[in-house]
Amino acid sequence: MRLKGKMKIELRNAKTGALEKRVVRENMATNVLNDLFGINPMGVFYNFASESPKFTWSVASDSGYKMVPICPNAVGGILLFPNALEENAALVYPPTDNQPIAYASNDVNSGEQTGRGSISTTEAKAIENGYRFVWDFTTTQGNGTIRAAALTSSEGGVAGYGDIVEQRHSFRHIWRYDCGKATDDQKRILQNLVEIDFDKEKAYSIDYDGTTITLYTLRWPTFSIGLTEEFGTAVDFSVLETVTFTPTTFQWPNKTSYQYHYFLDGEDGYWYGFANKENSTGNATVYWCRISKEDHSFTEGKWSLTQTYLCCIGAHEYTSTPALGSKAVIRNGYLYVLRYQRTGVYKINLSNSADVTLIDFGFTSGNKPVFAQGDRDAFLLKHRGLIIGYSFLLTESDQVIQTKGQTRDFITSYGTESASVSSQFFPYGNGELLFYVTQSYGTEYFGCILAT
């Protein structure tokens, strides 16, 4: 698909309507549409009987969405940025430190969003060999310095990742597989996923039972399928290799209570495990371990963090109603953990635990996960370096952006639905597709989100 565009920005006098300035530029098209319509890992764009919701390209309810016609759906919004964007077709998402100051979708903004404009319902329409978008911003909307503009999806133009007024976001729920027929061993491996390498069709799961750590290397069918294999499921993996470790320091902080531990992909050649109890006063104790992806060498230790008040980094519960959740992510060599009081995030250097910084929000975030509601879900998630919390975003320069703070429902083809995300995201490609694991009332699911 070859695309070409032209952009024209007009600044008019609010009182007289006179044209003050006009800027015209040729547009570069990124690879995002070719990626979207040319990829299908694990058959996510097929419909299988065990899925809910089922993905639909073009049929939508009044409160749902559709992807085609491409304009004004898959392409149906605009983002205006304070800094320039690199002219690179492979970069389909902006840097996290260049968040849009203004945006608009394929509808009219009738609310209180000061950053959001409205589409011109009379001027925006299909033209010969293309589509013309026209958006209007009043004198109170989208104020600031604009150095770049980019088209986005209709949902992406509502508020980007979210703003202080509007909690609608650009994540679309397209696929979820019910793992109810999986064996207990399969469910446990799935719950402990720490990394999926889709290109190599491998995945990695790390289990800890209080005594032994077990690393599973899995065959993960993504694009190829065997004669007796299923497709479009999350449980048709096979174990290629098993490696065990017996830690002497790493442990559950309270062996008689919850199974407080969590493993994360450091994206630096290692997987990291953490175990702690939340503390509202005093010092924090964190047991940690590290496993090399190259040679499976194992390192462990314990951090004592003075006057540091941590939420529980993560928990796995292997009971009749399994639970999984975390309040931490790893980014660029640092562990980010929610402060117990939810007034900030601690940034801990993985190589030097004496290097601890509290990033203060300036407000109190709600005690709720990013999606849906529950105490064993993901309270922090990461998308291409941007950390997402219940009512905040954290850029790669650690700038805090406050958002509305309410339950994020997923937008599906059939309307809105409340669905939780318990694991971290497992991104495919440039992060357009985000896979995840979750539990709901004892049922385990493996799902996929489209980050538009």
Pair of tokens at residue 28: 């570069």
Averaged pLDDT for residues 181-204: 92
At 327, the pLDDT band (50, 70, 90 cuts) reads: very high
CA proximity to 189, closest of 148, 220, 222, 158: 220
Pair of tokens at residue 446: 């493996």
DSSP 8-state secondary structure symbol assigned to residue 42 = G
Please give the domain boundaries of the chain with CATH numbers for all domains. Answer: 5-38+64-167 (no CATH), 176-451 (2.115.10)
Contact between residue 323 and residue 315 where contact means Cβ atoms under 8 Å apart: yes
- Sign (positive or negative) of CA dihedral 107, 111, 116, 120: positive
Query: Any idea what the Cα angle at residue 411 is, between residues 108 and 192, rounded to 5°?
Result: 145
Residue 394 has pLDDT above 60, yes or no: yes
Parallel/antiparallel/unpaired status of strands 392-394 and 400-402: antiparallel
Q: State the pTM of this model.
A: 0.93
Separation between Cα atoms, residue 386 and residue 394, nearest integer Å: 6
Averaged pLDDT for residues 418-430: 88
At 385, the pLDDT band (50, 70, 90 cuts) reads: very high
Averaged pLDDT for residues 160-171: 81
Question: What pLDDT shows up at residue 65?
Answer: 67
Question: What pLDDT shows up at residue 405?
Answer: 81
Question: What pLDDT shows up at residue 303?
Answer: 98
Contacts of 153 (CB under 8 A, 6+ apart): 73, 74, 75, 76, 77, 170, 452
Contacts of 101 (CB under 8 A, 6+ apart): 80, 81, 82, 115, 142, 143, 144, 145, 146
Separation between Cα atoms, residue 258 and residue 354, nearest integer Å: 28
- pLDDT one-digit tens code per residue, 127-155: 998 999 999 999 999 999 999 999 999 98
At 111, the pLDDT band (50, 70, 90 cuts) reads: confident
Query: Any idea what the Cα angle at residue 210 is, between residues 332 and 247, rounded to 5°?
Result: 65
Question: What pLDDT shows up at residue 414?
Answer: 45
At 77, the pLDDT band (50, 70, 90 cuts) reads: very high
Residue 68 has pLDDT above 90, yes or no: no
Separation between Cα atoms, residue 132 and residue 144, nearest integer Å: 25
Q: How many CB atoms lie within 10 A of CB 16?
A: 8
Q: Is 185 exposed, middle or buried (0-12, 13-18, 19+ CB in 10 A)?
A: exposed
Separation between Cα atoms, residue 321 and residue 249, nearest integer Å: 29
